[in-house]
Chains A and B, each alone.
Chain A
Amino acid sequence: MTTTIRMYNQLNLGDCFLLKFSTSTEDSYLLIDFGSYEGNNSEREREIAQDIKETIGDKKLTIVLTHQHKDHYSGFLHAGDILKNKKNKTELWLSYLDSEISKEGQAIRSVTEKFWKKSKKVKAILKNKLAAEAKPQIQMMLDKKESFDLFAEDQSGGEAITKLLEIADNKVKFLTPGDHFMMPGTNDEIKVYVLGPPFDNKFLSKRDPGKSEEVQGLNAMMEMANMDISGSMMLDALTSLYEPESFQEYDFPFNRQYINTGADNGPKKAYENMDEAWRKIDDDWLSEIGRLSLFMDKLTNNTSLVLAFEVVASKKVMLFVGDAQIGNWQSWFNVVFKDSDVTGEDLLSRTVVYKAGHHSSLNATLKQGLDLMNERELVILIPVNQKVSEKYGFHMLKPGMLKGYHRKSQGRVLRSDSIVQNSGELVLDFPFLDAEKFGNRIHVHPPKGHPHLWIEVTVT
């Protein structure tokens, strides 16, 4: 039994992993995510799709979409037709949240849809009206918001799923934490365990690793509802500033008579005193807009389908977490696999391949989780693109996180965007990609020439 994990280089930020399970009698393939963050990448995506198609031939293919962010699905939109193939049998796996009948899924979809509608209007107002005032703090917030929103803004997740259903000929399986089954086409030599997304919806909104306690007992549904209202309040306020006041705003939050229209206004004079201009609060309230974007982003990331693949004979585990945030990770410790002694903690401790969460962002790897992994064999795969990350100011590839990865895996860290890492800036305990350590387990294609299309690691 050999598993080969191929990490494609999109030349952009995004995930695309092709796993090949080879047994003595048959081979089968699993494609986990296929996308790029920036929209203009179809040429490369088609190149990748072509390579996937040629690799698979007429073998069985299973496709997994972890969550509905563009950097995980755009490839299916732009190059999905290449993957369509009547000869092989293709199956699609999605999280239970993507199912029509999932209550949580419905709620998330409804909130998301409303959010984007409002967000669009809010952005238009801010762009048209406030840009003229040229305030760097607002501009910075909007730029940052833009880069967060880009993960999902055009709302093409649904379209991607439609496309995927078409590719899989409607053969779809919705996975729920606690599910475990044999990987089809592997002669019962590989077992799949579903760890996330959390069933208990309070974990869906949990994101920041520092704030570990506070979300306990918080109802994510309620939180979503509150975010929805908050979004409306912001939109109402912004709209009324530039357009005739709406009905909702007329007497909100106080009856109209309390607005001071008189000339004799001491507080106004104090507020507008130029010497004290540094104390004004004209724009601080707009931060709520940024916070809403952040909330939506973490919500979608936390819906990531998390799969652990166990090599039945050797008990080794390969862990694919999508962009799961801390709340998702924490829920794994409570997952119960029916008629099985296996636990989330157990799977983590046997992990020898870890697909780094959210392109190595800090809030997407739980320290206790990483600590548990098998450090003698662990290989960490980071799908990332430094240029894109830096361009948009994402906090990926942070020295602290990278060092943690390197220390834990004793330097066995692979990145999708580069073969050799320039560690001049960073003093690493272990040099990057030490050929001796990997031996013949690593393959790069094309072996020479730049840039590479994929990098592959073998697990036996």
Chain B
Amino acid sequence: MKHQEAPLDPSLGSPPDSTLDASPDPSRRAFLGIAAGATAAVVAPGFVLQAQAVGNPRAERVSDVHRWGLLVDTNRCVDGCRACVEACDQENGLDLQSKQPGQSEAEWDTQKAVWLRKVKLQDNLTGRVSNLPMMCQHCESPPCVDVCPTGASFKRADGIVMVDRHTCIGCRYCMMACPYKARSFIHEVVEDQLTRVPRGKGCVESCNLCVSRRDQGLDSTACADACTALGHRAILFGDLKDPASAISQALKTMPSRQIREDLDLNTGVRYAGV
């Protein structure tokens, strides 16, 4: 609308043949009024159309100013609790998958897409059992990205490791390369995807740290929210690069590890108490 404002000043918008009379021409004002009204009438519906988005959709490119990560306190992770898994399934439409007719339960269990799973560890010497949620560890040097032949597996500037399904050819090299068994392959045609989580046959996918929440300006993941809502507070999401963030403060004060730290991947997901 800015272009409407400039000619309102008679000293700027006067055509060369106009008189030097300082008072603005009323018909000119009428014309501008009508023109502004007509423009608004034509353009306004377009803006109303765009005003339905929720949250604060990101307008600038993600940058490496942030690196998103998770800290899991396995001491607080409760045996038998699946709240994070269920929250992840609902957030990302994984609960909408259904078993193919004639497929055995065992086959379905191994083939359905899973982004987040509960793992139980037992120290065989001491018998100590730890529970932890295992998902894509969002490595700084991700093996899945190294092996991808098409560049579909990539790391976003803010540290989120993702699959661009538009270029994924379904070769599953990344699933072989991942030390964390974090990736899933979609074996069958999917009919009822969610708008925020596209999903299709022949592509690989994995935890993307609730990337739609990231891009709408929210500060948490579905798993962390669910864990906090139950009072367990075992999962903390945050910015690893911000020294003032809760996750950085927690990492500074409590002992934590990367799973398979021998691989030197610098994971974005850290575990305490294992």
A binds B: no
A interface residues, Cβ below 8 angstroms from B: none
B interface residues, Cβ below 8 angstroms from A: none
